[in-house]
Structure 1
Amino acid sequence: MDVATALDIRTPMDPDEAGAAVTQDRLVTPQEATQLAELFRLLGDPTRAQLLYALLEAGELCVYDLTETVEVSDTAVSHALRLLRTAGIVSSRRAGRMIYYRLADVHVRMLLDLSREHLRHG
């Protein structure tokens, strides 16, 4: 074995301190990790996921339209939308007596698009 190869061999007890320091600098903060976990928990519910993809495809829908599209009760839709709105994942606007919901921003759209692409890739 030549000297260069011998120097490249590391054991699990020989940490790459420089690599670990760079990785540690790029990690999310504990607060960001908590927020990410909460976001994925919200997205992890099948009904909420269907509602979000309905909004992704339609752009904007009221509770009645979402109820018909996803085929769940208006109570379940309203509860899910309240959670998603509180988390900043969807936003709403009022038009007379109707409230219309849409995805909050382009980042939510990108997350949903990438998630669907990932599922279809596998």
Structure 2
Amino acid sequence: MHIKKNEILNLENTLYEAIKNSDTEVLDKLLHADLLFVIPSGQTITKEMDLQTYRAGNLKVNEIIPKVEKLNIIEDLAVITLQMELKGDYNNEPFEAKYRYIRFWKKFPEGIKVVGGSGMAI
């Protein structure tokens, strides 16, 4: 049940595309039902809260430029840290910012899913 680094890098790329396209079907498959994520404002959100942000059209990301810093594999769990430059708009307010993220991917019988993470402005 070990995870391979290239699996996580491919899933990260799939995640970026789903974010840019507000593709809630793909996001629904990538995010675990019990996901907890701390967003840059400090609020902890769930999978449903995250998906609702995209469904409502509140967050539109036009550009994502990721730079992976570290990727550690611990058996069926992957921990990735990266910097991301994001451009888009949130609640119709344009933004352009750089963030540092940590994401936790875990392997399940139905696939590898994000189970937690955090993002902060840098």
Structure with greater proportional strand content? 2
**Shared fold (TM-score greater than 0.5)?**
no
Larger Rg: 1
Q: What TM bracket, shorter-length normalisation?
A: under 0.3
The one of the two structures with greater contact order (alpha-carbon pairs below 8 A, sep at least 6) is: 2
Structure with greater proportional helix content? 1
- Give TM-score scaled by structure 2 length: 0.22
